[in-house]
Every structure is written in structure tokens, then in C-alpha cells.
């Protein structure tokens, strides 16, 4: 058994650095984030990148369109781990015009950049995060997009595990549900060990996620399925549809997926992340007019509307509590947090109603206080609505350290073969 060695990391679509914060919480000495990219194409101000550059001094930070970065940049880094939270987009593909040059995906789809980085660098591990609806998209062909992604990893010689995780169910302060995708290179030590384990046991007991984030022993209501992904990604794009459950594993194109239930831990209530009320600026308290507006927004309603073709219908919305319960974890924070919006958190302390402050939103995601200081409050809320719960990445970072401990001679031969 070898002692742990440095794990060199490329961080894609870095935002304000949530993946890096989590990995460094796990072990700052072992995770070396050598290169990170953050770029907002539609914005002149690059607030997220500026925040990242303020908070991290080591490694290279790049504020450019990733599609313009040459392959050689990634190859020179030789990463062991690629991480990123990428947008949920349309992953449909088609044949190239010649019919001989593989496939063409829609331009601007950032997952193709992830594919390019992996294809050029062959990292041992890939850890990605996305909204959980990825597993069901598009609505007209359920599961197609995720199947295209799985086929991409299969073609690159990777095995994939996924899990939808609600952070509050593992002890944290936000009911934020996201899908995490962990891919590992076929042939490495962890893969050799996992090959000896039944797919169901990987998902429920022995896999990347199940060990540190335990689930109950059997699928919810016996919901489990098996499937094989077609070889041709164009065939998947055109015809494939499948019901992916909230956890699963894909090995050599064969899928096992099940609806897992977490072994719940006591969540952190909102009250635990609040600032002392004496520190709250008056601008965060609601005026009488704002209180009335939120009373309407959060109340039940039935509104008659007319569609473009003249059809009349009723839009109905159920009521929700006028304020968020301080004894429960927060709801999922959106990029609209802090605005006059139904999804915004409203709390009542000492008889006064107010918004969460930007610092409290940072705490909901596990960041240090004032991590996003230096930008407007509106952008601080926006960045936290886009961020992830870094405590989950800390748990996953520790798991990566654990599985990276042993390196066999066979694995060294594989790595040598890739470099030749």
C-alpha cells in the first residue's frame, strides 16, 4: 500500500469555487487544483471569476471561453481528477455531414467540453454536479440526455455511478437536491475491486456514494431496473428512452438503477446558520408593502389566463407558509434569492420578517462568511443560488482520497500505456 500522493485537479465551470472549497476542506495538501475556468459569456462583469481569484492564490485561473482553450493546455496539466458543475442542456447529437467523422452535438453545449478534456487527458476520476431533472430530460424523450452522457463515458472507457442527493438528509442546512456523477477509469484499482461486486451492492453498499452517504438496504417500493445502452450515440439521441432512478451504475454500457432512500441524519435547522440580529442591516427587513406582496405570492391562488391560441385556462398554486420554519433546514436556494419572489426565504425573528442576508446564504451552502464579499448583494444571492453544498464535496473528496490510496502494478501499466 502506498501513501496518498497529490491529486492534481482541473475545475471546469468553477463559479465561486464550490468544488475546490469542498476538496480543500477534505485535504488541502492532497488536492492540488492546478487549473480552473470560469467564464460568463453574457456578462461584462465577471463577478464569479473575480470572487474565485480573490479567494484562491494557487494554480492557474482562466476567465476565457473554454471552447477556445487549446487541447495542449489540458494535456500539459495531466490531471488525476476533473470536476465541474455544468448546465443542464440539450445533449442531442447527429451524424456529421460526411457521415464518417463521428457525431456532431449542438454548439455551445458545455458537456462536449467535458468530453474533450477527458478524451485528451484520461483522468482517473471525474466528479460532476447537475440539477436532478437531468435524469428525466427531455420531457418528450425521458432519459435520453443522461443516456447520451453515459454512452460518452462508456466510449471513453469509464464506469459511472450517479446519485441524487438532498444535502439536508445528510445533516446539512439546505434541502438542496442535486445529481452527482462520479466516473472512474476502467482498470484502476478501484475499478478492479468494484468489478468483483454485484451492481446492486455497488449502489446500496460498496460503491463510491454508498459508503460515505449510506442508504437503506432495499429499493423504495422495489423500484429498480436494468438496461443496456445502444452502441451508437445517434441511435440513443433519436430513439432511446428510459426511466433512470435516483441512483445507479453503468459498466460497459450495462445499467443498473434503483430508487434509493437515504439513512437520514438530523439536519441543521435554519436557526443554526442565522447571524446575531444586532448585526442585521435594516435593508434586509420587509416593509409593510413587501409583507403584503409576499403574503400574496406565498398564498394559494387560482388565476384565469389565456393561451396564445385564445384558450382560457386556470393557473393554480397551493399555499405555503408565510415564513420559513427556523426549526427546519432551508429550502433549495435559487438564483432569485433575495428578490420579491415566491421562492425567496422569508424568516421571522423577534416579531420582524426579513430576507436571509448574503452571509447566511453562504452558510446555507457551507462557505465561509463573506466568501462573495466585493460584489453587489444581488450578485451574491445569484452566485449562492448557483453554488453547491460544499460539505457534500468534502465527503466525496475524502472518499476519493480513500480509493486513491492503493495503486497496483497493473494500474501503473495502464497509465503508462495511456501516455505512450
Write the CA distances from 137 to 151, 160, 161, integer angstroms: 16, 18, 18
How many Cα neighbours within 13 Å face the side chain of 175? 11
What is the DSSP code (8-state) at residue 291? H
Cβ-proximal residues to 413 (8 Å cutoff; 6+ apart), any chain: none
Q: Which residues are registered as beta bridge partners of 10?
A: 35, 82
Give one word for 157, left, alpha or beta, with left for phi > 0 and alpha for psi -120 to 50. Answer: left
How far is the C-alpha of 300 from the C-alpha of 317, rounded, in Å? 5
Selected catalytic residue, list 51, 88, 361, 383: 88
φ, ψ (nearest 5 deg) of residue 70: -65, 150
Short-list 393, 384, 364, CA closest to 268: 364
Angle at 368 between CA 402 and CA 50, to 5 degrees: 100
Q: Which residues are registered as beta bridge partners of 8?
A: 32
DSSP sequence for 355-379: EPPHHHHHHHTTPPTTTTBTB-HHH
How far is the C-alpha of 364 from the C-alpha of 386, rounded, in Å? 12
For residue 51, indicate whether it is catalytic.
Answer: no
Number of Cβ atoms within 10 Å of the Cβ of 146: 26
For the chain, helix (H) and strand (E) counts, in that order, are: 13, 16
Number of Cβ atoms within 10 Å of the Cβ of 281: 9
Which cell numbers in the block locate residue 198? 454485484
Q: Is 103 exposed, middle or buried (0-12, 13-18, 19+ CB in 10 A)?
A: middle
Q: Where are the alpha helices (DSSP H) in 39-174?
A: 47-55, 71-77, 111-121, 144-155
Question: Is 185 strand, coil or helix?
Answer: strand
Do the beta carbons of residue 374 and residue 180 sit within 8 Å? no
Instruction: Provide the annotated active-site residues.
Output: 88
Amino acid at each position: 500500500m502506498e501513501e496518498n500522493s497529490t491529486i492534481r485537479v482541473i475545475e471546469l465551470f468553477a463559479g465561486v469555487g464550490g468544488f475546490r472549497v469542498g476538496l480543500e476542506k477534505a485535504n488541502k495538501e492532497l488536492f492540488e487544483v492546478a487549473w480552473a475556468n470560469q467564464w460568463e459569456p453574457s456578462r461584462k462583469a465577471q463577478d464569479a471569476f473575480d470572487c474565485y481569484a480573490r479567494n484562491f492564490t494557487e494554480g492557474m485561473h482562466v476567465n476565457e471561453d473554454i471552447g477556445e482553450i487549446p487541447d495542449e493546455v489540458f494535456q500539459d496539466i495531466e490531471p488525476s481528477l476533473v470536476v465541474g458543475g455544468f448546465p443542464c442542456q440539450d445533449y442531442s447529437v447527429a451524424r456529421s455531414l460526411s457521415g464518417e467523422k463521428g457525431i456532431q452535438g449542438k454548439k455551445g453545449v458545455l458537456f462536449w467540453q467535458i468530453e474533450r478534456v477527458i478524451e485528451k487527458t484520461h483522468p482517473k476520476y471525474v466528479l460532476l454536479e447537475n440539477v436532478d431533472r437531468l435524469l428525466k430530460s427531455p420531457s418528450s424523450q425521458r432519459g435520453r440526455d443522461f443516456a447520451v452522457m453515459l454512452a460518452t463515458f462508456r466510449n471513453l472507457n469509464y464506469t459511472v455511478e450517479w446519485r441524487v442527493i438532498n444535502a439536508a438528509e445528510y445533516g446539512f442546512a439546505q434541502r438542496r437536491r442535486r445529481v452527482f456523477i462520479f466516473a472512474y477509469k476502467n482498470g484502476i484499482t478501484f475499478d478492479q475491486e468494484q468489478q468483483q461486486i454485484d451492481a446492486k451492492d455497488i449502489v446500496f453498499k460498496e460503491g463510491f456514494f454508498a459508503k460515505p452517504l449510506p442508504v437503506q438496504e432495499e429499493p423504495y417500493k422495489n423500484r429498480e431496473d436494468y438496461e443496456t445502452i445502444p452502441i451508437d450515440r445517434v441511435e440513443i439521441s433519436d430513439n432511446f428512452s428510459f426511466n433512470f432512478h435516483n441512483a445507479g451504475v453503468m459498466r460497459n454500457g450495462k445499467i443498473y438503477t434503483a430508487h434509493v432512500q437515504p439513512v437520514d441524519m438530523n439536519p441543521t435547522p435554519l436557526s443554526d446558520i442565522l447571524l446575531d440580529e444586532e448585526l442585521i442591516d435594516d435593508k434586509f427587513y420587509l416593509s409593510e408593502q413587501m409583507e403584503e406582496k409576499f403574503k400574496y405570492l406565498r398564498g394559494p391562488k387560482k388565476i384565469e389566463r389565456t393561451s396564445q391560441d385564445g384558450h382560457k385556462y386556470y393557473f393554480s398554486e397551493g399555499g405555503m407558509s408565510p415564513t420559513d420554519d427556523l426549526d427546519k433546514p432551508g429550502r433549495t436556494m435559487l438564483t432569485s434569492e433575495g428578490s420579491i419572489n415566491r421562492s425567496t426565504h422569508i424568516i421571522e425573528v423577534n416579531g420582524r420578517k426579513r430576507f436571509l442576508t448574503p452571509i447566511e446564504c453562504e452558510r446555507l451552502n457551507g462557505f465561509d462568511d463573506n466568501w462573495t464579499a466585493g460584489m453587489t448583494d444581488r450578485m451574491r444571492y445569484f452566485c449562492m443560488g448557483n453554488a453547491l453544498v460544499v460539505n457534500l464535496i468534502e465527503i466525496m473528496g475524502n472518499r476519493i482520497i480513500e480509493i486513491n490510496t492503493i495503486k497496483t502494478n497493473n494500474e501503473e501499466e495502464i497509465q503508462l500505456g495511456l501516455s505512450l
